[in-house]
Structure 1
Amino acid sequence: MIQAVASNHVAFHEGVAPGTIIYSVENGKILDVLQGRVATERELIGCGWNLESYDIVSPYLIMPGLVDAHVHLNEPGRTEWEGFETGTKAAVAGGVTTVIDMPLNAIPPTTNIKNFKLKLDAAEGQLWCDVGFWGGLVPDNLADLKPLVEAGVRGFKGFLIDSGVDEFPAIDKRYIQQALHLLQGEKTMVMFHAELQLPEPGHEHTIVDYNGELGTDSNAENLLSATKSLSSVEPKYGQVSELIQHHEDHLDSITTPLEAAENEICDHSLSKIDPCEYNSFLLSRPDHFETDAVALIVSCLRNSILQNGIEKSPFVHIVHLASMEALPILKRAKDMGLPITAETCFHYLSLAAERVPKSKTFYKCCPPIRSEKNRKELWRALREGLITSVVSDHSPCIPELKDLAKGDFFSAWGGIASVGLGLPLLYTNGASIAEIIQWCCENTSKQVGLDHRKGFLRTGYDADFVIFDINTYQTVDNDKVYFKNKLTAYDGFKLKGLVRNTYVRGKLAFELDGMGHNKNPPGQTILERRRT
């Protein structure tokens, strides 16, 4: 079954131009691309194509399907939070044709072959987009890493701070060193949630400075985060954090949290923190949580390469980078030629701490949404190529865990639900189509080792493409989102751009003005071993 689609506006790697795409529904591949013109049906038949259908969709844009490399689908085990069906339906409704499922928040996590097989069984018949998988880095699972590589995971993710769920504990420096050594020569990626856990009281806070040498940090921000009132980490699932008192009900200036907190120390006056004020939570996750973690990761990677050489080193990746203060460390690492990349998220590019209302805990995530200045610096880093990709970090939960009734940022679960919203969010915030494709299609496909088949409109690639209406506005409505729990940080946001149709390997997965979602889920699990 051969079909074709064309438009005066097709987003190729080289730019937007007229184009015609011929594809097979049977093998799911793009058979030919005619760049620079909208062919007539007669012309295509004359070239030997026996077409079942030919759709010219001008003035709409045809673009590659997005590859969202950071999604928590939470199945099996926490399907009240999300699941393969609802998560992938939300993805294709927003033009995402491939998601890579994170190893945690499902029970059991993807940390060994047995658990991975349980996840694959749970995915059977429930995928509206293609789904790949990350494995997990947890204490005592080093022996499981190579078998997981062989089974097709795209790479591994670990936490340097409490993950919030008991079944996915944090790893330490020794584990990082061992994992980098063990995975020498493997085609894989080692990724980190880059916030560094504070030491226990009475221990020094030892970090790595920007030059990669060990040192003891004594700056004011580190002192503040070591105080009990500011050392809150992600709350344990089902538990509520305790707060210390602070001298103000809330902080008036969210753009200068360090200044405000320094004044508290100088005044020796700790009274009550208002847990419903976003700034209180922001102070508990200072920038150095991220800078310390990134510096430690860079140091471990550098030392591994000095010992083993760069040729066989696995790639290292920083997930959901949120702090502009970490950018100089990342730049220095790249200037040194280290194989390290970083992503940021739609929410860090779209939202700012100054605009988070009191008690609106659906804005809580870790690392936190930071200042407007910080947001602009992340955009700059993206456009300069220092940050290379943008993902959703779709991390949903049931509304009760957001503690909406109390509005307590400290007790609320951290995570923002947004899979499928990223394309119009970026477009509304001023990203060009070329930039979106680079950050969310091409670079994410490279990150997950699928750039030989996804992320581009090229002959021989998967026929994953989206019909995108760049001129129509939509208003986000929590009641109408497709993921399981109808709770976002974007309810009421007016966004420019609307996905009309989404095709996964040539099959229509979502049609806005027709059937909605295909009754037959077209998605597949991605289990091929990485080539790069």
Structure 2
Amino acid sequence: MPLNSIPPTTTVANLLVKQEEARRIGTHSDISFWGGIVPGNESELVPLLDAGVKGFKCFLINSGVDEFPHVTERDLVKACDALKGTNAVILFHAELEEHEHEHLSESQTDPSAYATFLASRPASLELSALDLILKLARSYRHLRFHIVHLSAASALPRIRDARTDGINNLTVETCFHYLCLQAEHIPSNATEFKCCPPIRNNANRQLLRQGVLDGTIDYVVSDHSPCIPELKKGDFMRAWGGVSGLGLGLSLLWTEFRGEVGLERITSWLSSAQAAQVGLEGRKGELRTGADADFVVFRPDERYTVTRDHLLFKNKVSPYIGRELHGQIVQTWLRGRQVWDGKRTLPLTGTFV
């Protein structure tokens, strides 16, 4: 992603810095970079595409970091005009509002209560953002538009209606945490559950599940957003917003959807749909002759309880600790070479794609 590591990927020069750092330290997976759209960088967008980015992310609301300011409709029009003829994909953090926390009532002022944070990020923010995104999608049919981490199920009818009306250049994702967690079960000050948009109630969760099953939602991602543990301390209104769940997705979705769909459908939500979006179909996201031989060995009947030892990322803070999951990955292979044996990571083999 283009932010949360400095420099932001908003210029070719900054992209080259990140590419060189990835070469220096090495990677355990094949990687690509997203570019970013911020006010005033429209002249950098086509050069960024030429330099290898797979598309562009932007925020319609304060991103939380100074080096990646959010964009307005005017900024987006400039960006879309600059990208004419490219078939680029623009990813939206789809919350839009004018006055932060204007939705809080006097009874929702306890910052330790999850209900206070939830009320500060109502579904109306996502619906307002969707209206703007659909307006752009109608005006720029040659470009592709994508909503990242949709949490508000109330957006689904509008998305279905837009597609019925011929808006075929819009795709949507949701996240493991929106499908597997619910607001009613989040304790006070359990800031490991805080993310933006927020985890909503169980009724909303059930509608999101249906949106995945019926294809309104195109695929499911982690939206892994880590931070050092110190930034998660405090209450819901002050702590860093982001859920860490990288590496748990297959088990989470198998736990949630087993009995309703098979592993083939779940892996399409996790791999082939995304590969197609960024032009890697035929190479990534499927098992067939000529593809990259990326796969995992998965034991669907195994159960395990998530502990800190299962978290392979650096800062081991996650709402899934203590959760029992069905199905466990015991090996990971990258381009025909084993990179994980269930206990340890094997030598670096990643490259740019």
Query: What TM-score do you get using the length of structure 1 for normalisation?
Result: 0.64
Counterpart in the other structure of 1:106: 5
CA displacement at 1:475 relative to structure 2: 1.1
Which residue in 2 is equivalent to 1:302?
A: 138
Displacement of 1:517 in angstroms is 0.9
Shift of 1:481: 1.2
Deviations 1:363-390 (A, max 9, x none): 0000000010100101101111100010
In the alignment, structure 1 residue 193 sits paired with structure 2 residue 20: no
The answer to whether the aligner puts 1:450 opposite 2:280 as a matched pair is yes
Secondary structure, aligned partner of 1:503: strand
Distance apart, 1:478 and its partner CA: 2.0
Q: How much has 1:325 moved relative to structure 2? A: 1.1
Q: Is 1:517 aligned to 2:345, yes or no?
A: yes
Aligned to 1:120: 19
Equivalent residue for 1:317? Answer: 146
Residues 169-204 of structure 1: CA deviation (Å, up to 9, x unaligned): 00000122222222122142111000003259xxxx
* 1:153 is aligned to 2:53: yes
Residues 490-509 of structure 1: pairs in structure 2 closer than 5 A:
490-509=320-339
Alpha-carbon distance between aligned partners in 2 of 1:414 and 1:127, rounded to the nearest angstrom: 26
Q: Which stretch shows the higher mean deviation, 417-426 or 478-487? A: 478-487
Distance 2:99 2:122 in 1: 15
Larger Rg: 1
- Paired residues of 1:110 and 1:136 also in contact (CA < 8 A): yes
State whether residues 137 and 144 of structure 2, in contact with CA within 8 Å, keep that contact through their aligned partners in structure 1.
no
Please give the alpha-carbon distance, in whole angstroms, between the structure 2 residues aligned to 1:175 and 1:383: 35
- Residues 201-249 of structure 1, C-alpha deviations (whole Å, 9 max, x = no match): xxxxxxxxxxxxxxxxxxxxxxxx635x47xxxxxxxxxxxxxxx34xx
Aligned partners of 1:480 and 1:486 also within 8 Å: no
Written as runs of structure 1 = structure 2, the 5 A alignment for 1:266-345 is: 273-304=109-140, 310=141, 313-338=142-167, 339-345=169-175
1:415 counterpart = 2:242: yes
Report if aligned partners of 1:180, 1:301 keep a CA contact under 8 Å in 2: no
2:196 is aligned to 366
Whose strand fraction is larger, Structure 1's or Structure 2's?
1
Q: Classify the secondary structure of the residue corresponding to 2:322.
A: coil
Structure 1 residue aligned with 2:297, among 463, 467, 475? 467
Q: CA deviation at 1:474?
A: 1.4
Q: Which amino acid aligns with 1:324?
A: A
Deviations 1:317-363 (A, max 9, x none): 00000001111221122112221000000000000000111110010
Alignment of 1:18-417 (within 5 A): 102-124=1-23, 125-199=25-99, 226=102, 229=104, 246-247=106-107, 273-304=109-140, 310=141, 313-338=142-167, 339-403=169-233, 406=234, 408-417=235-244
- How many residue pairs are counted as aligned between the two chains? 348
Cα distance in 1, alignment partners of residues 151 and 61 from structure 2: 15
- Alpha-carbon distance in 2 for matches of 1:154, 1:275: 39
1:429 aligns with 2:271: no
Local SS of the residue matching 2:74: helix
2: CA distance, partners of 1:483 / 1:337 = 41
1:247-294 deviation line (CA, Å, top 9, x unaligned): 4xx7xxxxxxxxxxxxxxxxxxxxxx1110000100000100000001
Q: CA deviation at 1:435?
A: 1.9
**Secondary structure at the counterpart of residue 226 of structure 1:** coil
1:498, 1:318 → 2: CA distance? 29
- Provide the C-alpha distance between the structure 2 equivalents of 1:184 and 1:376, rounded to a whole number of angstroms: 38
Asked which structure has the greater RCO (Cα within 8 Å, sep 6+), the reply is: 1
1:126 Cα shift?
Answer: 2.1
For 1:415 and 1:153, locate their aligned partners in 2 and report how far apart those are by CA, in whole Å. Answer: 24
How does the TM-score come out when normalised to structure 2? 0.95
Q: Mind listing any 5+ residue stretches in structure 2 that lack a counterpart?
A: none
CA deviations 1:18-39 (Å, max 9, x no partner) are xxxxxxxxxxxxxxxxxxxxxx
Q: Secondary structure at the match of 1:157?
A: strand
Contact map agreement 2:298 2:330 (CA 8 A) in 1: yes
Task: Work out the CA distance in 2 between the residues paired with 1:180 and 1:452.
Answer: 28
> Structure 1 residue 479: deviation in Å?
4.2
The CA distance in 1 between the partners of 2:308 and 2:184, in whole Å, is: 22
1:453 Cα shift?
A: 0.6
Q: Partners in 1 of 2:179 and 2:287 — Cα distance? A: 26
Q: Which runs of 5+ in 1 are unaligned?
A: 1-101, 201-224, 231-245, 251-272, 305-309, 527-532
Instruction: Kindly provide the amino acid, as one letter, of the partner of residue 104 in structure 1.
Output: L
Partners of 2:166 and 2:241 lie apart in 1 by: 34
Distance in structure 2 (CA, Å) of the matches to 1:226 and 1:275 = 15
Determine if contact 2:137/2:143 at 8 Å carries over to the other structure. Answer: no
For the 8 Å contact 2:102–2:120, the answer to whether it is kept is no
| Alignment-mate amino acid for residue 338 of structure 2 | L
Kindly report structure 1 stretches of 4+ aligned residues shifted beyond 3 Å.
none
Taking only aligned residues, the RMSD between alpha carbons, in angstroms, comes to 1.4
Task: Give distance in 2, aligned partners of 1:337 and 1:502.
Answer: 40
List per-residue Cα deviations over 1:421-448 (Å, max 9, x = no partner): 1000000112431221121111111122
Give the match's secondary structure for 1:502.
Answer: strand
Normalized per residue, the structure richer in helix is 2
The residue type paired with residue 147 of structure 1 is: P
Query: The residue matched to 1:472 in structure 2 has which SS?
Result: strand
SS at match of 1:517: coil
